[in-house]
Amino acid sequence: MRLHEPFEYHARTAPDRPCAEDGERRLTYGEMARETDRLVNALRAEGLKPGDRFAMLSRNSADMVAGYLAASKSGCVALPLNWRLAPGEWKQILTQGGAKLVIAQDEFVDAFAKTGLDLPVFPGKSYRAWLDAQPDRATAADGGDDTVLYQMYTSGTTGEPKGALLTHYAVLNNSLQTLPVFEHRFGQRDRALFVMPMFHAGAVSFVVGTLVSGGTLVIHREFNPKTFVDALAGGITVANTVPAMLQMALTSVPDVAERDYSRLKTIIYGASPIAEETLRAAMKAFRCQFYQGYGQTETTACLTMLNHADHERALREKPELLLSAGRALPGTEIRIEDPDGTVLASGDVGEIVVRGPQLMRGYWNRPEATAATIRDGWLHTGDAGYLDDEGYLYVCDRVKDMIISGGENIYPREIENVLFDLPAVADAAVIGVPDDKFGESVLAVIVLRAGAKLTADEVIAHCRAHLGGYKIPRRVEFAAALPRNPSGKVLKKELRAPYWKDRRRNV
């Protein structure tokens, strides 16, 4: 089965049901099907054949939904671009990815011109004219679920870009794997809120799940705390978000805890670690079921989930579960390995290694990188963590973010969790900086809440009361904000860069 097939079932059986709303347009399933078919025909008119790549450079929109559906039906491969990147980065990705054309929103056309690439670009009005000139019925390309649906470039990578190849089989199986986890049975009456960027793995997986179940996609062009809260109180039944968005909603919308969220059933969060205080505040304010998903672009989206019962158990008797990423989805295997490939026992920290139907096929035209990441069918995530005796996964950090100080392995997330216990701390990140004696030492970078005061000495004293001596920050710095990528992950490489200039870091 391919993505367009369950979608077209809904378009045939309930063509007037709302499919997508993006602030500018409201499309029913029947209208989205015609939009998709016109795009399929437009791609073919430009000479694209099954397996050819087309790029999408857009903020969240109904057009992006049609793009993923048209990729499915035409056999072409969607290549979503992060609109926050610089033109030089777009050029690198498009060149490496072999894109044949670009669908772009008007606001990005001038910036795209700076790439110097000689590719057909279809923005705004010309995009509409391009589609409107096409027939609104198209036949599906031949192909099975082993064909590639989209090619997504991983966030936070270094060096040459790597495009993860996600097949229909991986994408639809990952959606199926999550169904037993939820108490809320997703269906045709759901109104699903999209604020995460649709070039992100978690957002695309949410698009797929909503289309397969026949629900309505309520699409925000980008995240805004007030409109986010307004939507949650305005009839949304399920929302997919990241911790930074929840934190901003809780701290910048004064009446957030006083709204009526009676129709809101489920909030799913993930893509980056969440502070326990933020999670507890969100659960108290929104009064719905919470689920956490953990995964990577290379694994479609989810590998594990912390379900609603786990959240309730954490509040009732086992608070450490709030720091867990949950347990493996059905069909997913997880083990923890040391650098030599030895499988470690429960409680021992090592690299998280996974196997399941949701894994990527590999990286586009990167055989060496693929071979280094997928070995004997197991994908090496690059994340450090451990499994407890009940099978709950705890993600400590990225392996590359681990600090080695005086021969001791230090995982920044453990220290960050302690920092978030300080009421004055709004955001925090811990990095390793050069140290002539120990190789690396611990630096904490803290963002204070509005009007709050805190000194470096107070921070260190707090850490000393909760952490072993070698984990205590040697230095504390205060910043107005932390650099984050669109999925909410702190860009620790960017934070480290000034300290490691002209020096080589071993990790």
Does residue 402 carry a pLDDT above 80?
yes
Say whether both 52 and 151 belong to one domain.
yes
Does residue 353 carry a pLDDT above 60?
yes
C-beta atoms surrounding 374 within 10 Å: 18
Averaged over 465-490, what is the pLDDT? 88
Whole-angstrom Cα distance, residue 322 to residue 311? 7
* 19: in domain: yes
**Could you tell me how many helices (H) and strands (E) the chain has, helices first?**
16, 26
* Averaged confidence pLDDT in the chain: 93
Print the domain residue range for 390. 330-398
For residue 96, give the 3-state DSSP assignment: helix
Does residue 161 carry a pLDDT above 90?
no
Give the per-residue pLDDT at 413.
86
Say whether both 363 and 441 belong to one domain.
no
Q: Do the beta carbons of residue 291 and residue 182 sit within 8 Å?
A: yes
For residue 43, give the 3-state DSSP assignment: helix
Q: Do the beta carbons of residue 100 and residue 50 sit within 8 Å?
A: no
Say whether both 351 and 459 belong to one domain.
no
Query: Regarding predicted confidence, which is higher, 486 or 471?
Result: 471
Task: Say how many domains are in the chain.
Answer: 3
Q: Quick one: which H or E segment has residue 458? A: helix 456-464
In sequence order, what E strands does 370-438 have?
A: 374-375, 378-387, 393-398, 403-405, 408-410, 425-435
Give the per-residue pLDDT at 157.
37
Say whether both 491 and 342 belong to one domain.
no
Which single residue is written with the structure tokens 């509005």? 450
Dump pLDDT digits (tens) for 239-251. Answer: 999 888 898 999 9
Closest CA to 387 of 335, 338, 337, 342: 335
Dump pLDDT digits (tens) for 174-230. Answer: 999 999 999 989 999 999 999 999 999 999 999 999 999 999 999 999 999 999 999
* 249: in domain: no
Say whether both 393 and 412 belong to one domain.
no
- C-alpha distances (whole Å) from 468 to each of 75, 343, 418, 444, 445 are 55, 27, 12, 15, 19
Give the per-residue pLDDT at 278.
84
In this prediction the pTM is 0.85
Give the per-residue pLDDT at 156.
42
Maximum average pLDDT range among 107-116, 465-474, 491-500: 107-116
* 314: in domain: no
Q: Do the beta carbons of residue 71 and residue 23 sit within 8 Å?
A: no
Whole-angstrom Cα distance, residue 396 to residue 390? 17
Say whether both 343 and 473 belong to one domain.
no
Dump pLDDT digits (tens) for 404-432. Answer: 887 777 889 889 989 999 999 999 999 99
Does residue 506 carry a pLDDT above 60?
no
Counting residues of the chain whose pLDDT is more than 70, the rounded percentage is: 97
Whole-angstrom Cα distance, residue 457 to residue 494? 25
Q: Quick one: which H or E segment has residue 33? A: helix 29-45
Determine whether 255 is exposed, middle or buried from the number of CB atoms within 10 Å of its CB (0-12, 13-18, 19+): exposed
Averaged over 142-148, what is the pLDDT? 97
* 237: in domain: no
Give the per-residue pLDDT at 3.
98
Give the per-residue pLDDT at 152.
97
Say whether both 411 and 444 belong to one domain.
yes
Does residue 336 carry a pLDDT above 50?
yes
Question: H helices within 287-376, ranges in order?
Answer: 308-316, 367-373
Closest CA to 112 of 93, 140, 97, 135: 93
Residue 21, CB-side half-sphere exposure with 13 Å CA sphere: 11
| Last residue in a domain, options 360, 382, 398 | 398
Say whether both 161 and 18 belong to one domain.
yes
Say whether both 423 and 365 belong to one domain.
no
Query: Regarding predicted confidence, which is higher, 25 or 398?
Result: 25
| Last residue in a domain, options 167, 195, 217 | 167
Structure tokens, 357: 């139907």
Say whether both 340 and 422 belong to one domain.
no
Dump pLDDT digits (tens) for 271-285. Answer: 766 777 888 899 999
Could you tell me how far CA 40 lies from the centroid of its own chain? 27
Whole-angstrom Cα distance, residue 30 to residue 375? 44
Dump pLDDT digits (tens) for 3-35. Answer: 999 999 999 999 999 999 999 899 999 999 999
Give the per-residue pLDDT at 155.
56
Say whether both 357 and 413 belong to one domain.
no
Does residue 40 carry a pLDDT above 50?
yes
Q: Residue 378: which pLDDT band, with cuts at 50, 70 and 90?
A: very high
C-beta atoms surrounding 331 within 10 Å: 13
Give the per-residue pLDDT at 385.
93
Whole-angstrom Cα distance, residue 158 to residue 115? 20
Could you tell me what percentage of the chain is helix, strand and coil, using 3-state DSSP and rounding each to the nearest 5? 35, 25, 40
Beta bridge partners of 374: 379
| Last residue in a domain, options 116, 142, 167 | 167
Whole-angstrom Cα distance, residue 502 to residue 497? 10
Dump pLDDT digits (tens) for 110-139. Answer: 999 999 999 999 998 999 999 999 999 999
* 257: in domain: no
Whole-angstrom Cα distance, residue 304 to residue 405? 31
Q: Do the beta carbons of residue 238 and residue 195 sit within 8 Å?
A: no
Structure tokens, 37: 């078919």
Give the per-residue pLDDT at 505.
65
C-beta atoms surrounding 326 within 10 Å: 24
Give the per-residue pLDDT at 487.
65
Whole-angstrom Cα distance, residue 84 to residue 214? 31
* 209: in domain: no
Q: Quick one: which H or E segment has residue 351? A: strand 350-355
Does residue 398 carry a pLDDT above 90?
no
Pairing of strands 77-80, 439-448: unpaired
Could you tell me how far CA 342 lies from the centroid of its own chain? 29
* 294: in domain: no
Whole-angstrom Cα distance, residue 115 to residue 91? 5
Say whether both 6 and 110 belong to one domain.
yes
Whole-angstrom Cα distance, residue 182 to residue 291? 8
Q: Do the beta carbons of residue 204 and residue 80 sit within 8 Å?
A: yes
Going edge to edge, which strands form the sheet with 304-306? 26-28, 18-21, 216-219, 191-194, 238-241, 266-270, 289-294, 304-306, 327-328
Give the per-residue pLDDT at 159.
54
